[in-house]
Chain A
Amino acid sequence: MKWRYFKQAVFFTVVRLSALVISLTLLGILAYIFFNGYRAITWDFLTLPPTDSMTRGWIMPAIVGTFYLTIGAISVALPLGIVSATYLSEYAKQGPFIRIIRIGVNCLAGVPSVVFGLFGLGFFVVFLKFGSSILAGSLTLGILILPTIIGASEEALKGVPQTFREASLALGVSKWQTIYRIVLPSALPGIMTGSILGIGRAAGETAPIMFTAAAFFTAILPKSIFDEVMALPYHIYVLATAGTYIEQTRPLQYGTVLVLVALVLGIDLIAIVIRSAMRRKKRW
């Protein structure tokens, strides 16, 4: 009897410790970035382009670039992902063909991001002649986050009670109308979760945009989707490895990281607020 309680105590301790370690690691990273980076954050830092060979590197173009690329990636991946997930979970007859597609999607999720970068370079930049541009970068990032969105959307669709579908179909509502009016709206909060993860990933990746969209330096803002842009992750990479004055720019690097993290968390926060508002409305 006592032995059982002892085992339980040990097990609970391990579980609590794991949770603690993970939360502390995350907090530690965030705190580290914050204390190293906050001094770099000034109004000018956020609103002006870099100058003096990046040593007084201000980052406004990179913020704008990352924003465009992320929005672009989401607008590519979200519709495509939702449609694919809808097909996989609502229309397709389960069988070997569907299993192969699923395995393909999962493999896509495991492909290193630099491979997406090379694919983007080969296909969008060179073959389709988009050049290094917002368009090429957004499409590349979009493909990168597609598996995340498909996976989350499929889970969300599976989570919609079968009784909703039956209720709608039994009223003489067609399958497409049922999916469009009942199933997808009910699955939307879950799909949002997927897109939140996607946004974070798209905003933070360096390798896929290195060859497809990111410029080392542009003083002006992009005018069309065929322009190159600076992007925060690539800018960090440049400052930390390729610049001429790596040591001098250290505070700027942390400042840029802080901005990137804040941007991602900010976008996440908006999505989380929207999601929970939708959840509150649709309780079952």
Chain B
Amino acid sequence: MVKVGKNFIINTNDVNFFYGSFRALTEITMGFEKNRVTALIGPSGCGKSTFLRLLNRMNDLIDGTRVEGEVLFEGKNIYATDVDPVEIRRRIGMVFQKPNPFPKSILNNVTFAPKLSGITKKSDLDSLVEQSLRQAVLWDEVKDILNRSAMTLSGGQQQRLCIARALAMKPDVILMDEPTSALDPISTAKIEELIDELKKRYTIIIVTHNMQQAARVSQKTAFFHLGTLVEYGDTREIFTNPREARTKDYITGRYG
């Protein structure tokens, strides 16, 4: 039993996850600290992305999946029957591996979800757009072309737009699923700086294949292997003095 500490915003209790009869995650119990960046690392197929998508119920979209155990967000199980996944996803935003802006203007990408959630005043929307784009460090690059299609932006800009779009909903947690794996090194560096800035206001959970990235941006690191949580602790500890042999083998490049 993990106690729900003051600083934990999300806790999972003995979470199992199944694709059909295939068990993708086994008894994952961990807590995510507020205003920290937590990195989930591990070899391909270890279940880290599955686990991430389970935290805002994105796995609901896949037919034939099943969750056991509890995922507590601010102490409440998000898989309880009376919970609306739409509400959960408003509070727990997500950024995907490949930038996926809507085929709309830059402006409409940011305002799309806030409008649907009831913000209609133009001045409110305008300030929300500026604020979100500034937070995503994109404002200076796009402030004069807000009506241009988001599809005309570069990959790195698109990804920052996707982050801005998520920020516009003012979530508490942002999940990032390998957000830089489709980007060049310069864009990657910008996103990493951005993550560092964002953790002041948000809790960030990031899946990454890039161990240097995990070491650079996160304070906590969890190492997954074959659907189990092998080791979880301070990033510095994990990378300099791992307790488990498997963790050590992975971070030193023995497999992956």
Interface of A with B (CB < 8 Å)?
93-94, 161, 163-174, 177, 181-182, 186, 281-284
Would A172 and B89 count as touching, CB distance under 8 A?
Answer: yes
Q: Smallest CB-CB separation from A175: which chain B residue?
A: B86
List 24 contacting pairs A-B, 8 Å CB cutoff, sorted by A.
A94-B63, A163-B96, A164-B103, A167-B100, A168-B102, A169-B86, A170-B58, A171-B90, A171-B93, A171-B165, A171-B169, A172-B87, A172-B91, A172-B93, A172-B113, A172-B117, A173-B86, A173-B116, A181-B112, A181-B116, A282-B103, A283-B151, A284-B103, A284-B151
Would A163 and B98 count as touching, CB distance under 8 A?
Answer: yes
Bound-state Cα–Cα, A210 to B111, Å: 52
- Chain B residues numbered 102-121 whose CB sits less than 8 Å from any CB in chain A: 102-103, 112-113, 116-117
Would B116 and A177 count as touching, CB distance under 8 A?
Answer: yes
Does B186 make an interface contact (CB < 8 A)?
A: no
Would A172 and B61 count as touching, CB distance under 8 A?
Answer: no
Would A170 and B56 count as touching, CB distance under 8 A?
Answer: yes
Interface string of B144-159 (1 = CB under 8 A from A): 0000010100000000
Q: Smallest CB-CB separation from B90: which chain A residue?
A: A172
Q: Main SS of the interface on chain A?
A: helix
Does B162 make an interface contact (CB < 8 A)?
A: yes
Q: How many residues of B contact A (CB 8 A)?
A: 28
Cβ of B98: which chain A residues have Cβ within 8 Å of it?
163
Cβ of A172: which chain B residues have Cβ within 8 Å of it?
86-91, 93, 113, 117, 169
Q: Smallest CB-CB separation from B60: which chain A residue?
A: A169
* Other contacts beyond A167-B165, A171-B113, A173-B86: 9, CB < 8 A: A166-B100, A168-B102, A168-B112, A169-B86, A170-B89, A171-B166, A173-B112, A173-B113, A181-B112
B178: min CB distance to chain A, Å: 14
Bound-state Cα–Cα, A150 to B56, Å: 33
Does B78 make an interface contact (CB < 8 A)?
A: no
Bound-state Cα–Cα, A94 to B63, Å: 9
Would B89 and A171 count as touching, CB distance under 8 A?
Answer: yes
Does B205 make an interface contact (CB < 8 A)?
A: no
Cβ of A284: which chain B residues have Cβ within 8 Å of it?
103, 151
B166: min CB distance to chain A, Å: 7
Cβ of B56: which chain A residues have Cβ within 8 Å of it?
170
Interface of B with A (CB < 8 Å)?
56, 58, 61, 63, 86-91, 93-94, 96, 98, 100-103, 112-113, 116-117, 149, 151, 162, 165-166, 169
Bound-state Cα–Cα, A174 to B90, Å: 10
Would B102 and A167 count as touching, CB distance under 8 A?
Answer: yes
Cβ of A182: which chain B residues have Cβ within 8 Å of it?
102
Cβ of B88: which chain A residues have Cβ within 8 Å of it?
172
Would A174 and B100 count as touching, CB distance under 8 A?
Answer: no
Bound-state Cα–Cα, A284 to B102, Å: 9
Cβ of A166: which chain B residues have Cβ within 8 Å of it?
58, 61, 94, 96, 100
Would B102 and A164 count as touching, CB distance under 8 A?
Answer: yes
Bound-state Cα–Cα, A164 to B81, Å: 27
Bound-state Cα–Cα, A177 to B94, Å: 18
Cβ of B102: which chain A residues have Cβ within 8 Å of it?
164, 167-168, 182
Q: Smallest CB-CB separation from B103: which chain A residue?
A: A282
B8: min CB distance to chain A, Å: 22
Q: Smallest CB-CB separation from A185: which chain B residue?
A: B103
Cβ of B63: which chain A residues have Cβ within 8 Å of it?
93-94
Bound-state Cα–Cα, A172 to B167, Å: 12
Would A283 and B103 count as touching, CB distance under 8 A?
Answer: yes
Most buried by B among A94, A164, A174: A174
Cβ of A165: which chain B residues have Cβ within 8 Å of it?
61
Partner of A186, one of B93, B100, B103: B103
